[in-house]
Amino acid sequence: MTELGTRPQAVIGARVPRKEDPRLLRGQGRFGADMSRPGQVWARMVRSPVAHGRLRAVHTTRAAAAPGVVAVVTAADLPGRLEIPVRLDVQGIDLTDYLQPVLAAETVRYVGEPLAVVLADDPYLAEDAAELVDADIDAAPAVLDAADGRVAAEFSLGYGDVAAAFDAAEHVVRTEISIGRQGAVPLEPRTLLADPDPVTGRLAIFGMTKVPVFNRDLLASLLGMDETLIHVHAVDAGGGFGARGEFYPEDFLVPWLARTLQRPVKWVEDRTEHLVAVNHSRQQAHRLAAAFDAAGHLLGLRAEVLHDNGAYCRTHGIIVPELTLAMLPGPYRVPAYHGRVRVALTNKTPCGTYRAPGRFEGSAAREQLLDVAAGQLGMDRIELRRRNLLTPAELPCQRAMSTLGTDVVLDDGDYPGLLEAAAAEAGRLGYPVEVSRGQQSGRRRGLGVAAFLEKSGLGPQETADVVVSGTGAVHVYSGGTSLGQGIETVLAQIAADALGVDPAVVSVVNGDTDKQPFGGGSWASRSTVVAGSAVHAAALAVRDRATEVAARMLEAAPGDLVCEDGAISVRGDPAARVTLAEVARATAPASRTLRPGEPAGLSARRRFEVTHMTYPYGVHIAVVDVDPGTGQVEVLRYLVAYEVGRAINPALVEGQLRGGAAQGIGGALLEEFCYDDAGQPQSATFMDYRMPTAAEVPPIDVLVTQDAPAPGNPLGVRGAGEGGVSAAGAVLASAVRDALGLAGSVGQLPLTAARVHELASGGGR
């Protein structure tokens, strides 16, 4: 590595104020719904009111005659039979038969499925007219239990001789746990504005996030356009968490209508639509069995998973069940493992990823298993984990499995060390004292512990451009996207560090497909790792070029120059210096500093490629009170300990962990998409889909460690986006189980008051 961290005022590792903050605090953010175009029409989706049935007809005559209506379209108006393809392949499994059409044509499969689009001059009129569209549906029985659902895929992952492990076992421990249906639910609903330019034939899009280049290319192929004629603009996004920015039916419909009508089309989803239309996640049933020797060492692990994917396979395909299986052994030494999953379709909203996909679920299952095992083996819960965590000497550890198209190779780390550090931190913060004090005063108070493994930094590549303009301003054009995580600030710090400039002079544009046509997007906690590494490489290349040009200007050898404080100077002779702005101007096309044939400009594009992911790891510890009378669970204390390799901006890492933990508390205790027997959603408002407020989320203690820099990238970073939520279900299940003194598993998440009341009354498994 180069000079990172060697300067006296290191930019990396500093709590630099966020570049995003001023505009957002002033109400000057540019969210999708904030953008309008002259002459725009508003789109309103008409959605199926029935969970399952044959679509006989969609009558649009009355709607089309309503005031202000410009057009009403159904599947019959589409250019052919269009389905949204899978973005992420899993084990080569063909899901063609289960893809979602952009508008239902013959069959409806969930409440909320798009049937028609109404366009009107005004959103109120569009909504009025949408209510006049009459869908004639022969209702059929709804399949709501995955056990009864059509099987879309079934596959196994694993390694080693599992049968032999169970034959040799001294103890076999079994447990079951189901996770309820939950979702990302960002606070900003989806929006899209598509604006066609009749002169150039281009189509400007506002509101696509997460994977804008992928979505641009997919949209281009569905529209039969050259992809460079589509310009996806950068926007602020009100949270992503996996769901926002995937390609949904509306992502075709709105641009297609804009192009067909040659008018700007604007669409803003309402909350009830969001809660039935956007990917759900998490709903899985797990049956686990573990073989232990007499000393409590794991010999083998078996997992059977039933995944409820809702009505269709969307862009994420079956990646969540694959991640579940691939990550289920977690940070432990598991000599033999067999995981099998059945992916079933039901008449509910289709599913995709939600922050820590497969890990929230799998960690809850595995950690409940270990808690139950500790009870059965008569061992302390932490001691059992300590015995089974992989040691630093056992890393890197290759598991003969793949996920997301890459082999599972756990990189460096000290898993037992972090467990000790977390336990010590909880002790220092008084957790154990609080538990015993509560129990002595007669409360049902419990302590939860969970260790987990995360993954981040998925390749295969990310591209970044760094450009210095004549004022000395540094422009970064990254393939990441801003979803609220602060990636503009992080990338500015990385560029500033490499170039020796103040982060204040660095501006970062994310998610603009004209500025960065080769971006991979922000998902899977990848941006700091892969986008950051690409920015790092591009900024170093700019520094090298600036040094070379400055050497000519100063008549010095490049090796004698240093690049710092926005200038390049001769080492030991600070008077001999040129500013970065002067160097940039010296590369202008007419500059005499340029050599014949040398390209103008001070810029570089670099691509960072990576084969394997990096694996951050962590421990959650929590203290809860359970009211056996009401079933209410109160989270009193919560600690997230997480190894991030290197924190570019510790304040942002802590923010990710705290925010993730809050979402995880929601997932563990409150949030669930429920359906009635006919498949009608029962959680289509914020009254019924209960996200935690400040009253349910305690102050979250965080212990961010930087003891194991990731070996696979030049910054040593591991990604921080998902460690706050990953083990939240696991740790709160552990704490509730401890508070109630259960012998078996808690059985289900979320641990709503009704369920906890049942467990407290002896109704547990």
Under the rule (CB under 8 A), what is the footprint of another protein?
17-18, 20-29, 31, 33-34, 36, 123-124, 185-189, 236-239, 241, 268, 270-271, 483-486, 651-652, 654-655, 658-663, 685-687, 691, 693-695, 697, 699-700, 724
C-beta closer to another protein: residue 478 or 489: 489
Which residue lies nearer to another protein by CB, 26 or 595?
Answer: 26
The distance of closest approach from Cβ of residue 671 to another protein in the complex, given in angstroms and rounded to an integer, is 11
Q: How far apart are CA 435 and CA 636, in angstroms?
A: 10
Give least dist CB 1 to another protein, A. Answer: 28
Q: Which is nearer to another protein, 329 or 484 (CB)?
A: 484
CB nearer to another protein: give 208 or 700: 700
Closest approach of another protein to the CB of residue 128, in Å: 10
Helix (H, G, I), strand (E, B) or coil at 279: coil
**Among residues 123 and 405, whose Cβ is nearest to another protein?**
123
Taking the C-alpha atoms of residue 223 and residue 220, their distance in angstroms, rounded to an integer, is 5
Take residue 680 and report the two structure tokens written for it: 């009608």
The CB-of-89 to another protein minimum distance in angstroms stands at 30
Q: How far apart are CA 513 and CA 213, in angstroms?
A: 6
Tell me the closest approach of the beta carbon of residue 204 to another protein, in angstroms.
18
Minimum gap (Å) between residue 42 Cβ and another protein: 10
Q: Select 70 or 410, whichever has its Cβ closest to another protein.
A: 70
Give the Cα separation of 726 and 343 in Å (integer).
Answer: 22
- Among the listed residues 610, 631, 635, 634, the one whose alpha carbon sits nearest the alpha carbon of residue 622: 635
Residues 643-663 as b/e (b if ≥16 CB within 10 A, e otherwise) read bbbbbbbbebbbbbbbbbbbb
Min separation Cβ 65 and another protein, Å? 16
Tell me which residue has tokens 């949270």: 239
CB of 375 to another protein, least distance (A): 31
Length of the chain counted residue by residue: 765
CB of residue 22 vs another protein: minimum separation in angstroms? 7
User: Tokens representing 104?
Assistant: 């239902």
Are residues 545 and 602 in contact, defined by beta-carbon separation less than 8 angstroms?
yes
Output 51 or 662, the one with its CB closest to another protein: 662
Distance CA 449, CA 116 (A): 49
What is residue 555's three-state secondary structure?
Answer: coil
Q: Taking the complex as a whole, how short is the minimal distance between the CB of residue 695 and another protein, in angstroms?
A: 4
Tokens of 227: 């992809």
CA-based nearest residue to 183, from 243, 228, 143:
243
> Least CB distance from residue 99 to another protein, whole Å?
29
Alpha carbon of 648 to those of 13, 532, 566: distances in Å?
5, 10, 20
How near is the Cβ of 702 to another protein at its closest, in Å?
Answer: 10
Query: Residue 16 or 561: which CB sits closer to another protein?
Result: 16
Sign of CA dihedral 592, 593, 595, 598: negative
Closest to another protein by CB, 103 or 254: 254
Residue 711: cis peptide before it, omega within 30 degrees of 0: no
Rounded Cα distance, 447 and 639, in Å: 11
Phi, psi (deg, nearest 5) at residue 258: -60, -40
Minimum separation from the CB atom of position 215 to another protein (A) = 19
Whether residue 689 contacts residue 624, with contact meaning beta carbons closer than 8 Å, is answered with no
* 35 versus 401: smaller Cβ distance to another protein: 35
CA distance 191 to 193: 7
Of residues 215 and 485, the one with the C-beta less far from another protein:
485
| Bridge pairing between strands 107-108 and 53-59 | antiparallel
Q: How far is the CB of 282 from another protein (least distance, A)?
A: 16
What CA–CA distance (Å, rounded) separates 101 from 103? 5
Residues 748/177, Cβ–Cβ less than 8 Å? yes
| Nearest CB to another protein, comparing residues 22 and 141 | 22
Q: Looking at beta carbons only, is 664 or 712 nearer to another protein? A: 664
Q: Closest distance between another protein and the C-beta of residue 23, in Å?
A: 8
Q: Which is nearer to another protein, 24 or 105 (CB)?
A: 24
d(CA 173, CA 273): 43
Q: How far is the CB of 31 from another protein (least distance, A)?
A: 7
Residue 14 or 229 having the CB closest to another protein: 14
Kindly state the tokens that stand for 83: 């389905």
Beta bridge partners of 647: none
Residue number, 573 or 688, with CB nearest to another protein:
688
* Strand pairing category for 506-510 and 474-478: parallel
CB of 280 to another protein, least distance (A): 16
DSSP string across 629-685: TT--EEEEEEEEEEE-S--SSHHHHHHHHHHHHHHHHIIIII----B-TT--BS--S
User: What type of residue is 633?
Assistant: V
Measured CA to CA, the distance from residue 150 to residue 129 in angstroms comes to: 36
Prior bond of 396 cis (ω within 30°): yes
Q: How many CB atoms lie within 10 A of CB 433?
A: 10
**At residue 576, what is the residue type?**
A
Q: Closest CB to another protein among 66 and 746? A: 66
Pairing of strands 461-468, 474-478: antiparallel
Per-residue exposure over 742-752, b if at least 16 CB sit within 10 Å of its own CB, e if not: bebbbbbbbbb
CB of 24 to another protein, least distance (A): 3
Residue of 732, 745, 746 lying closest to 360 (CA atoms): 732
Extract the tokens encoding 316. Answer: 């994420």
> 86 or 725: whose CB is closer to another protein?
725
